[in-house]
Amino acid sequence: MDRVVCLVFGGIIFTTFTLAAAADPPAATDAKFAKDLAVQNAMQRARILVIENQPGKAVDLLEEQLANVNGNPQYLVQLRDAYRVYIMDLYLTGRPEVAKRYFDRLCILDPSAVNDAALKPRVETAPRKFEADPPKQPTATQFPTFKVPGFLNPFAAKDDPKQLVKPVARAASEDISSVDPFDAKFKRSDLAAEPAPTKANTEAAREFLKRGEAEFQRERYGDARKCFEQAYQADNGALEACRPQWAYCIIKGVTEAMDQPGVLPAKLPELKQQVENAIGMAPGQMMVAGKTLLSQLDQRAGFVSANPRVPAKAVSLVRHWGQNKEGWQVAETPHFRVFHRMDNDFAERVADIVEKTRAAMYKKWFESDGIDWQPHCEVIVHPNAASYTDMTGVPAQSPGHSRIDTDPSGRVTLRRLDIRLDIPTTLECVLPHEATHVVLAGMFGNQPVPRWADEGIAVLSEPAEKIEQHRRNLAKHHADGLLFGLKELMELKDYPHPRRTGAFYAQSTMLVEFLASKKGPKIFTDFVRDGARQGYDLALQRHYNLTFTQLEQAWQQQVINNRTTSNRP
């Protein structure tokens, strides 16, 4: 009986192992493992290809594994995202037929894509209005138009109320590298051997001088300069009385030359020498304007060659798409699409600033590596105020602005920056400030970013000297009685009356710095988020264990009266 039981039991064990082996043989297990491994490998490689701006290859790689994914949700999300990037790139590169094919596939994975404006053919709609290139202008890329502050024309009529010289447009054919009268080839090593000017030379010099004075009165300074130079070559003594006017024409020529493509920093020594010569010709009239221009030349050349705050070409993942139909050059990073009229090196520096700002702001204020931006944030780099105002409708007094569109849920559907390159602090101040605004957008749920926090955080992205300027302004606005109560400031729905705008920026900046220094930037943004949702009284108690009365007392003592040293975040 025991033997029979053993045999039966042994048969059961044998049968069980036999069935198990038959149900999942080693060969089938290996095949399934190989398929899973291939899918995971494809996903990893595709992720890298998208980062490297090769979405087409990423899509091909993922589609090869469709038969093996078996409904893998991570794979489907990644394929969907790769489709989106590839479709936008196809439209940008002028392949709408191919884009339509992949758009149909995307709609199978994500039916809501049919209503996504970012996936439509790239046609121009408001608010962008790309300006056409000027007729018969060369197609070469242009550097930004930096402007020197206006200076008084010492030769304006005494009763002329408009003493400030207006810039004169240069004709397309005019040579920006006019002859330097102090060039070595015009210097005489043997004055005694130099023959006296002939009567014909003297008459020619007078004629050139007469024409030069007439052109100067018409504010045609480039033409006047040429006439003065020709008069000098004919008779070097003919221009003694007109040396200040000639010097002024040289100063004007340099201010216009520094705006031309490729001039800085290549011709910096030459331009500085011309300015020094102009000062030497008429120090009484040209000293202030000349010294200002020398400083501006050094500063602008630094922007073009090697901005110390932003190393050139620090962004490796920049893709240059060339010129679009409106004449703008297009460059793209993982999160930004830059429209510009400059060379690729300068575009990469702009891209570097916005990408670095994005990463730094997410890390500092949210302890995050960032969220995915779909679509890209557009950065429109306007060469001058006319382009900026014409395209955006924003007054020329503004150095730049950001635009954020959201849907009712608070999801950001558009991020855009418009900046001007004729503002001296564009790269150093304006661009990081506006890029910070687009980072903050959408990070407070369906609530808009409170004005005070939005501007305060953005100002703190600027250089230290700009922050110190707001710190000094705070004391002045306090003395003038223009500051807000802290609760009043936090609950402002819009910008205040222009009379208190300076106080608003100074107080917002210092209040953000003050609160962030207490428990760190992340606690501060948590406080702002809760305050916007549930009220600042409750949020202040929860995150800082303070009432507004206690906060006002601490603010008055530590910031206004400066009795303790604040720890900056």
pLDDT tens, 37-72? 888 888 888 888 876 668 888 899 888 888 888 878
User: So what's the pLDDT on residue 173?
Assistant: 31
Burial degree of 31 (CB within 10 A; 0-12, 13-18, 19+): exposed
Residue where one domain finishes, among candidates 63, 88, 119: 119
Q: What is the pLDDT of residues 498-545, one digit of tens each?
A: 899 999 999 999 999 999 999 999 999 999 999 988 899 999 999 999
Binned at pLDDT 50, 70 and 90, residue 27 comes out as low
Across the chain, mean pLDDT equals 76
Do 188 and 298 lie in one domain? The reply is yes
User: So what's the pLDDT on residue 302?
Assistant: 60
Answer yes or no: are the C-beta atoms of 538 and 548 closer than 8 Å: no
Question: Domain for residue 373, yes or no?
Answer: yes
pLDDT cut 70: percent of the chain above it: 74
Lowest mean pLDDT among 69-73, 184-188, 314-318, 376-380: 184-188
pLDDT of 474 > 90? The answer is yes
User: So what's the pLDDT on residue 28?
Assistant: 66
Q: How many CB atoms sit inside 10 A of residue 179's CB?
A: 15
Report how far residue 69's alpha carbon sits from residue 379's, in angstroms, rounded to the nearest whole number.
38
Q: Residue 55's domain spans which residues?
A: 2-119
Do 428 and 532 lie in one domain? The reply is no
| CATH code for position 270 | 1.25.40
Do 287 and 368 lie in one domain? The reply is no
| CATH code for position 403 | 3.40.30
Question: Domain for residue 147, yes or no?
Answer: no
Report how far residue 347's alpha carbon sits from residue 11's, in angstroms, rounded to the nearest whole number.
78
Nearest-5° Cα angle at 462, 535 to 354: 95
What's the total number of domains in the chain? Answer: 4
Question: Among all chains, which residue has been given the structure tokens 């855009």?
Answer: 416
Residue 424: asked if its preceding bond is cis (omega within 30°), the reply is: no
User: So what's the pLDDT on residue 124?
Assistant: 44
Binned at pLDDT 50, 70 and 90, residue 191 comes out as very low
Question: Domain for residue 293, yes or no?
Answer: yes
Q: What is the pLDDT of residues 129-160, one digit of tens each?
A: 444 444 444 433 333 333 333 444 444 444 44
Burial degree of 39 (CB within 10 A; 0-12, 13-18, 19+): buried
Question: Domain for residue 167, yes or no?
Answer: no
Do 435 and 456 lie in one domain? The reply is no
Burial degree of 156 (CB within 10 A; 0-12, 13-18, 19+): middle
Question: Domain for residue 516, yes or no?
Answer: yes
Residue 127: asked if its preceding bond is cis (omega within 30°), the reply is: yes
Residue where one domain finishes, among candidates 102, 119, 136: 119
Do 499 and 391 lie in one domain? The reply is no
3-state secondary structure (DSSP) of residue 143: coil
DSSP per-residue string spanning 421-441: TTSTTIIIIIHHHHHHHHHHT
Alpha-helix residue ranges (DSSP H) falling in 367-425: 385-392
Do 439 and 319 lie in one domain? The reply is yes
Do 318 and 412 lie in one domain? The reply is yes
Burial degree of 56 (CB within 10 A; 0-12, 13-18, 19+): middle
Question: Among all chains, which residue has been given the structure tokens 């687009």?
Answer: 438
Question: Domain for residue 385, yes or no?
Answer: yes
Element (H, E) at 138: none
Tell me the CA distances in angstroms from 280 to 245, 273, 289, one per residue in order: 13, 11, 12
Burial degree of 513 (CB within 10 A; 0-12, 13-18, 19+): buried
Q: How many CB atoms sit inside 10 A of residue 560's CB?
A: 15
Do 455 and 425 lie in one domain? The reply is no
Report how far residue 472's alpha carbon sits from residue 82's, in angstroms, rounded to the nearest whole number.
50
User: So what's the pLDDT on residue 7?
Assistant: 39
3-state secondary structure (DSSP) of residue 3: helix
Residue 70 DSSP code = T
pLDDT of 314 > 80? The answer is no
Polymer length of the chain: 569
3-state secondary structure (DSSP) of residue 250: helix
For residue 168, what are its two tokens? 């004169």
Give the closest residue to 523 by CA, choosing from 544, 507, 552, 551: 544
Report how far residue 58's alpha carbon sits from residue 60's, in angstroms, rounded to the nearest whole number.
6
Report if pTM > 0.85: no
Burial degree of 279 (CB within 10 A; 0-12, 13-18, 19+): buried
DSSP per-residue string spanning 261-277: TT-TTTTHHHHHHHHHH
3-state secondary structure (DSSP) of residue 565: coil
Do 439 and 469 lie in one domain? The reply is no
Dihedral sign, CA of 121, 122, 126, 127? positive
Residue where one domain finishes, among candidates 306, 339, 369: 306
Tell me the CA distances in angstroms from 176 to 37, 107, 172, 226, 263, one per residue in order: 64, 56, 10, 11, 10
Do 433 and 494 lie in one domain? The reply is no
For residue 373, what are its two tokens? 């931006």
Cβ partners under 8 Å of residue 490, min gap 6: 450, 452, 531, 536
Do 302 and 313 lie in one domain? The reply is no
Q: How close are the terminal C-alpha atoms of the chain, in Å?
A: 85
Question: Among all chains, which residue has been given the structure tokens 């029979």?
Answer: 4
3-state secondary structure (DSSP) of residue 336: strand
Alpha-helix residue ranges (DSSP H) falling in 282-371: 283-306, 344-366
Lowest mean pLDDT among 162-171, 235-244, 530-539: 162-171
Provide mean pLDDT across the span 362-370.
90
Question: Domain for residue 381, yes or no?
Answer: yes
Question: Domain for residue 170, yes or no?
Answer: no
Cβ partners under 8 Å of residue 159, min gap 6: none
Q: What is the pLDDT of residues 255-305, one digit of tens each?
A: 787 767 666 666 777 787 788 778 877 777 777 777 777 777 776 666 444
Query: Tell me, what amino acid is at 179?
Result: V
Question: Where is pLDDT greater, at 135 or 181?
Answer: 135
Answer yes or no: are the C-beta atoms of 402 and 416 closer than 8 Å: yes
User: So what's the pLDDT on residue 539?
Assistant: 93
Do 430 and 526 lie in one domain? The reply is no
CA 285 to chain CA centroid, Å, is 38
Element (H, E) at 379: strand 377-382
